[in-house]
């Protein structure tokens, strides 16, 4: 996305080899939830590195593992209380599908148009945000069926009908293990799923014994103003996939499910050498400490409102922006013309020292995902840089 060579980061700012500071509103793709090098997270990593760097979970148990599982159980929606740890979002998403297959003894999954679930072979087959992620890798695993994702409340009924049609015509309920869904499409354009759609899907799942998997890799850990986005829809997912913001940048991911579902996964049928790494667990525990501080999520909500209000004001002043949307600090500004996005991002980078990224199948969305600790002044600074870019490229 940029040609920057960075040497350090603190909060929302990264510093280059030549000593320039940039406002990092990419958060390393929605990862540095507590900002770059939050002192509490750094201290936890340093302390844990001196105690144990690797304590392989098949060989022995380490204290940080149970502690992290307990902390995650406390913040996860019911009935999620049991966790499997992995290293990346794709690994956890693929693991969640393996779990669903084992738990239901069914072979297929349903995913939604525009989703991004990762770049392993199965998660590539589940990814339809852009062909670039799949091209050149065929044949991809079978057993993945794609249903439409609603772009507005008006689309909900038709999209639910399409899911029912899929179950009648392509993958019968008896063959369908799970539906896997991002509550807000990430790579697909920061598009929130309407509540009525999510509730309709879970109803269909319950009716047919299909598991509902929420891929909260990008939307989880406070990003949308609640710990998990799914909470805002009053839903009880069977499985949640977690990564990115979980440990402020240390590579660790998790699959959460009820103990009852996890028990249907035969021991040894899934695992990995590094999953549940003690330093990753320590980083995640420290991250959860920060995210659960009183007022933290209210701060995310307030900064999100500030950002959306500022973007809507800019959209009223400058032509070209057709929509501003997204919960918390998972915000999109959508352009009518995708060719405008590149010049806007370049202007922000070069003239505003602001790092932003695009999203969407058509590449016409600028996504705003600053660290959740972003200040009011930093949001204002970013909006000013974006406004100058709109003026210069209009
Ligand atoms: C919703 C979602 N799921 C899964 C993934 C894959 O995560 P990773 O890149 O850590 O494999 C991503 C990454 O962007 C994501 O946004």
- Using one digit for the tens of pLDDT, what is the confidence trace for 13-40? 999 999 999 999 999 999 999 999 999 9
- Structural domain of 269: 40-291
Task: Confirm whether 5 is domain-assigned.
Answer: no
| Same-domain status, 227 and 363 | no
Tokens of 159: 């999209």
For residue 180, the SS3 value is strand
Task: Confirm whether 23 is domain-assigned.
Answer: no
Rounded distance from Cα 31 to ligand 1 centre (Å)? 10
Which ligand 1 atom sits nearest the alpha carbon of residue 29? 14
| Same-domain status, 227 and 90 | yes
| Same-domain status, 139 and 116 | yes
Of 291, 306, 329, at which residue does a domain stop?
Answer: 291
- pLDDT tens digit sequence for 322-347: 999 999 999 999 999 999 999 999 99
| Same-domain status, 337 and 250 | no
For the segment 147-165, the average pLDDT, to the nearest whole number, is: 97
Task: Confirm whether 267 is domain-assigned.
Answer: yes
Q: Which helix (H) or strand (E) holds 313?
A: helix 296-317
Alpha helices, H only, 105-244? 121-125, 156-169, 195-208
Q: Is 190 left (phi over 0), alpha (psi -120 to 50) or beta?
A: left
Task: Confirm whether 281 is domain-assigned.
Answer: yes
| Same-domain status, 165 and 226 | yes
| Same-domain status, 76 and 129 | yes
Rounded distance from Cα 241 to ligand 1 centre (Å)? 10
The domain that holds 123 is classified in CATH as: 3.40.640.10
Rounded distance from Cα 109 to ligand 1 centre (Å)? 18
Q: Cα 187 vs. chain centroid, distance in angstroms? A: 9
For the segment 166-177, the average pLDDT, to the nearest whole number, is: 98
- pLDDT tens digit sequence for 50-86: 999 999 999 999 999 999 999 999 999 999 999 999 9
User: Is the CB of 90 inside a 6 Å radius of any atom of ligand 1?
Assistant: yes
CA distance linking residue 359 with residue 365, whole number of Å: 5
Task: Confirm whether 198 is domain-assigned.
Answer: yes
- pLDDT tens digit sequence for 254-297: 999 999 999 999 988 999 999 999 999 999 999 999 999 999 99
| Same-domain status, 213 and 343 | no
Tokens of 298: 């209210």
Ligand 1 pocket test: pick from 1, 28, 33, 90 the residue with the most ligand atoms within 8 Å of its Cβ.
90
| Same-domain status, 190 and 306 | no
| Same-domain status, 166 and 314 | no
pLDDT at 394 over 90: no
Which ligand 1 atom sits nearest the alpha carbon of residue 244? 10
HSE-CB of 203 using CA atoms within 13 angstroms: 10
Which ligand 1 atom sits nearest the alpha carbon of residue 88? 10
User: Is the CB of 366 inside a 6 Å radius of any atom of ligand 1?
Assistant: no
The domain that holds 319 is classified in CATH as: 3.90.1150.10
Ligand 1 pocket test: pick from 33, 97, 111, 118 the residue with the most ligand atoms within 8 Å of its Cβ.
118
User: Is the CB of 88 inside a 6 Å radius of any atom of ligand 1?
Assistant: yes
Q: Number of folded domains in the chain?
A: 2
| Same-domain status, 309 and 280 | no
Enter the pTM of the model. 0.98
Of 231, 264, 291, at which residue does a domain stop?
Answer: 291
Q: Is 108 left (phi over 0), alpha (psi -120 to 50) or beta?
A: beta
Rounded distance from Cα 303 to ligand 1 centre (Å)? 24
User: Is the CB of 87 inside a 6 Å radius of any atom of ligand 1?
Assistant: no
Rounded distance from Cα 89 to ligand 1 centre (Å)? 5
Of 291, 318, 340, at which residue does a domain stop?
Answer: 291
| Same-domain status, 184 and 94 | yes
């Amino acid at each position: 996305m940029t040609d920057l060579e960075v040497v350090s980061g603190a909060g929302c700012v990264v510093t280059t080899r030549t000593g320039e500071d940039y406002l990092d509103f990419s958060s390393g793709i929605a990862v540095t939830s507590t900002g770059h090098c939050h002192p509490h997270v750094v201290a936890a990593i340093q302390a844990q590195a001196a105690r144990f760097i690797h304590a392989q979970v098949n060989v022995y148990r380490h204290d940080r593992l149970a502690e992290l599982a307990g902390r995650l159980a406390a913040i996860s929606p019911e009935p999620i209380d049991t966790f499997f740890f992995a290293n990346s979002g794709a690994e956890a998403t693929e693991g969640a599908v393996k779990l669903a297959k084992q738990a239901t003894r069914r072979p297929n999954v349903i995913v939604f148009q525009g989703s991004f679930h990762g770049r392993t072979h199965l998660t590539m087959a589940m990814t339809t945000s852009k062909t670039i992620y799949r091209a050149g890798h065929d044949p991809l695993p079978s057993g993945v069926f794609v249903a439409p994702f609603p772009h507005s409340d008006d689309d909900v009924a038709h999209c639910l009908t399409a899911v029912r049609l899929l179950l009648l015509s392509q993958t019968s309920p008896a063959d369908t293990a799970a539906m896997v869904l991002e509550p807000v499409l990430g790579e697909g354009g920061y598009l929130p799923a309407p509540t009525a759609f999510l509730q309709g899907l879970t109803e269909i799942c319950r009716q047919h014994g299909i598991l509902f998997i929420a891929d909260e890799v990008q939307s989880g850990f406070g990003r949308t103003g609640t710990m998990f986005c799914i909470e805002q829809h009053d839903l009880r997912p069977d499985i949640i996939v977690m990564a990115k913001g979980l440990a402020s940048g240390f590579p660790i991911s998790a699959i959460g499910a009820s103990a009852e579902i996890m028990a249907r996964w035969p021991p040894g049928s899934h695992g990995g050498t590094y999953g549940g790494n003690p330093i990753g667990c320590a980083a995640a525990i420290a991250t959860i400490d920060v995210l659960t501080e009183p007022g933290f999520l209210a701060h995310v909500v307030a900064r999100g409102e500030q950002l959306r209000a500022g973007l809507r004001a800019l959209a009223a002043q400058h032509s070209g922006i057709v929509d501003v949307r997204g919960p918390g600090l998972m915000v999109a500004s959508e352009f009518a013309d995708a060719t405008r996005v590149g010049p806007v991002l370049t202007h922000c980078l070069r003239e505003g020292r602001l790092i932003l990224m695009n999203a969407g199948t058509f590449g016409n969305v600028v996504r705003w995902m600053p660290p959740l600790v972003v200040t009011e002044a930093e949001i204002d600074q970013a909006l000013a840089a974006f406004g100058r870019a709109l003026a210069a490229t209009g």
